[in-house]
Every structure is written in structure tokens, then in C-alpha cells.
Amino acid sequence: MQLTIRNLTKTYPNGVKALQDVSLDIPTGMYGLLGPNGAGKSTLMRTLATLQEADSGAATLGDMDVLKDKDAVRRVLGYLPQEFGVYARISALEMLDHLAVLKGIPAARRKEVVDALLQRVNLWEHRKKSVSSYSGGMRQRFGIAQALLGDPKLIIVDEPTAGLDPGERNRFYNLLSEIGENVIVILSTHIVEDVTELCSNMAIINNGRVLYDGAPDAALKQLEGKVWEKAIAKSEIDDYQQRFQVISSKLVAGKPIIHILSDTDPSDGFRRAEADLEDVFFAKISAGEALEG
């Protein structure tokens, strides 16, 4: 099964162009949708999850029309939204059982399905606690359990790792990476590491436009030999930004290290740096912004 998105466009009533002619081919496996806050990720996710209308364009999942056959899509969809509701003070077990009823799982199989999911996301020991008492990481794992109800073919997770500490984030990565190879998992995120760790394909979006789509490796190849780095003083940043195409600057032990893009050796004390996905991200975003003016 493949998810095909063609020329999807959405402008909100306030004039914000959240999606501008978005076309993507999303195969099975883990797909990263990477973009800064406000890029249009949630708008795209909500549209694919049949919760919101696009102005124009098309999306098909196998032979289903995602924008029209909403009920059919909902039967094969698992969705973990960015803000996953307010939790009643009932136990995780009761909550998941209730969600299983809503999902239409037959009564005879419900207990088996719910128990297996709670074990799968490692919440079995905590099944009698209320989800409102859970830590951020536990809530996200519960969110994955509910998204997996009913063996979905398309799983959409919107910014799932924001707010998790590194240990929780790792546990969450392990869980996501265990989800079957035969489903499409779209992971929307502004955290480059999420994509590096998990995704075999990805798109970078900003201002509602697709700036890159393909394998992370291929994106890295495009930058090979073109990324240079240098430690500079904080007061020099503006100067370097005027003279070079600075794609990122991060503090290492309190000192800025800048990365620039240059086809040739810029000398001036720069050293060649190995391009990482963070460089790809910032290079695509800054190139996109230069084009938009």
C-alpha cells in the first residue's frame, strides 16, 4: 500500500497558506515529516486523518480516496494527535477498552486485544493507574497503544517526542521501530534526531511547501564536501552571516560553532565537517526562505 498526495493546498480563513501544492509519495515503513513549528505539518496530518478539509488536491491510500472515503480511511487509520485529549480519571485499561469499543473491535476479542497492546507498549504493570497520573513518556506510549487498536494500515503520529526526556524518547523510538514493516507510519516532527533514528524516507517542509523528499542518505549526499565549520566568537556571528552562507550555529561549551555551505574551501580557518541531517534541514530551510524572499 502507498499513500499518494497530489497538489494538496490549504489556506486558512486568516490568509495563512498552510499547505501549498504539496505532493508526496509515501511508501510503507517509517516516514519522517520534518519541519519547524508552523511549517504545516499538523494541517497535513489532520487532513490525512480525515479531520480537516483541504481546499484542493488529492490523496489516495491504496485504492481509497482519502479526502472522500473518510469512513473507509478511518477503519484503517491509527492517529496520535499532538494534543492527545484530557484524560478522565479512569484506569488505562478501562480507557483503552472504551476506545476499543469506539473502534468497533468485537466484544469477544476486546480483552485479548487490549491486554496485548498494554503489554506491547510496556504499560501492563501500570494498567490500573489513571492515564492522567502518567508521565509524558507513558502517555505517549498509551497514545501509541490506542493508535494501534484495530490493526491500522496508516499510522499518523504528530510531534510524538516533543517534551520527552532522553530516556523516554529512546523507549519511544524502540516502540515505534517495532511497528510492522507493512504499515505506513508518518511521524511528524521538528526534531531532526527523530528522523535520523527512525525514518528510511522523509520530507522537509516549511511555509506549507515541500523543500525535499526522499531518503535521508540521498539528502546527505547532496551536501557531501560542502559543509564547513568553525568556532567563532559570539560577537562575530553577524559578520560571518554576511560573508558566508551560514546554515547553523550551535553552542559547544558556550562557544558558537557555525556550519556554512560552500562548494569550495572557504579557508579563513574553516574545517570540512561531515554533513548531518541537521545541516540538511537548515540548508533546505534557508534555501527555501531565500527563494520566497
- The C-alpha cell at 193 is 534526531
Distance CA 156, CA 26 (A): 12
DSSP 220-257: HHHHTTTEEEEE--GGGHHHHHHHSEEEEEEEETTEEE
Distance CA 120, CA 60 (A): 30
Least distance (Å) between residue 162 CB and ligand ADP = 10
| CB contact at 8 A, 216 and 202 | yes
Least distance (Å) between residue 289 CB and ligand ADP = 14
Comparing CB distances to ligand ADP, the nearer of 38 and 266 is 38
Which residues are near ligand ADP by CB under 6 A? 12, 14, 16, 18, 35, 37-43
Least distance (Å) between residue 81 CB and ligand ADP = 11
Amino acid at position 22, single letter? V
Comparing CB distances to ligand ADP, the nearer of 30 and 45 is 45
SS3 159: coil
Least distance (Å) between residue 11 CB and ligand ADP = 9
Least distance (Å) between residue 135 CB and ligand ADP = 24
Beta-carbon contacts of residue 276 (< 8 Å; ≥ 6 apart): 192, 196, 220
Comparing CB distances to ligand ADP, the nearer of 7 and 20 is 20
Comparing CB distances to ligand ADP, the nearer of 14 and 235 is 14
Comparing CB distances to ligand ADP, the nearer of 40 and 150 is 40
